[in-house]
Amino acid sequence: MAKRSKSVDRVAQALADLGVDATPIELDRSTRTAQLAADVLGVSLGSIVKSLVFMADSGPVLALVAGDRRADPSKIASACGATEVRIATAVEVRECTGFAVGGVPPVGHLNAMPVILDASLSRFELLHAAAGAPQAVFPITLSELARITGAAAADIVETG
């Protein structure tokens, strides 16, 4: 069996420290995108949690968005009280979280940042989030995800 990556170990430790009874699963195929993760896991695209870093006036903000939805920067700005919000660059994502794009988890970041939760995730009993690497995920319920991230649910996705 292959040795687990340090990034996945960091997520596993963060989950344990937060009292979450979930173990990251490393797969033999990429889960780098929500669609790839849904395909590999055999679950609905919307049950995949995308951890997206945005840069707001006051610094980084993490948006946890359903895999079948697109984040709306203007709604994210409104939800966090910012004038402007833009998607972070890959370099900014790594600097803020310590993880590469495609494997950013909702927890275990290098730096704390506000978290906003896509209210549409409430459609699913069980969610799957990235676990620190492009082929690693972990299962979690919405209530547990909200608890461990301190996130409030908001309408932060495009309509239509």
Count how many domains the chain has: 1
Calculate the alpha carbon distances from 47 to 42, 69, 92, 95 in Å: 11, 10, 26, 27
Kindly state whether residue 1 falls inside one of the protein's structural domains. no
Residue 68 has pLDDT above 80, yes or no: yes
Q: How does residue 56 score in pLDDT terms, banded at 50, 70 and 90?
A: very high
Kindly state whether residue 159 falls inside one of the protein's structural domains. no
Upper half-sphere CA count for residue 100 (Cβ side, 13 Å): 12
pLDDT tens-digit map of 99-146: 999 899 999 999 999 999 999 999 999 999 999 999 999 999 999 999
CATH number at residue 142: 3.90.960.10
Residue 2 has pLDDT above 70, yes or no: no
Kindly state whether residue 30 falls inside one of the protein's structural domains. yes
Mean pLDDT of the chain: 94
pLDDT tens-digit map of 4-45: 789 999 999 999 999 999 999 999 898 889 999 999 999 999
Q: What is the pLDDT of residue 1?
A: 45
40: containing domain: 6-154
Q: How does residue 160 score in pLDDT terms, banded at 50, 70 and 90?
A: low
pTM (predicted TM-score): 0.95
Kindly state whether residue 95 falls inside one of the protein's structural domains. yes
Give the integer Cα–Cα distance in Å for 99 and 158: 26
Hey, what are 28's tokens?
A: 């033999």
Q: What is the pLDDT of residue 74?
A: 96
Kindly state whether residue 71 falls inside one of the protein's structural domains. yes
Kindly state whether residue 52 falls inside one of the protein's structural domains. yes
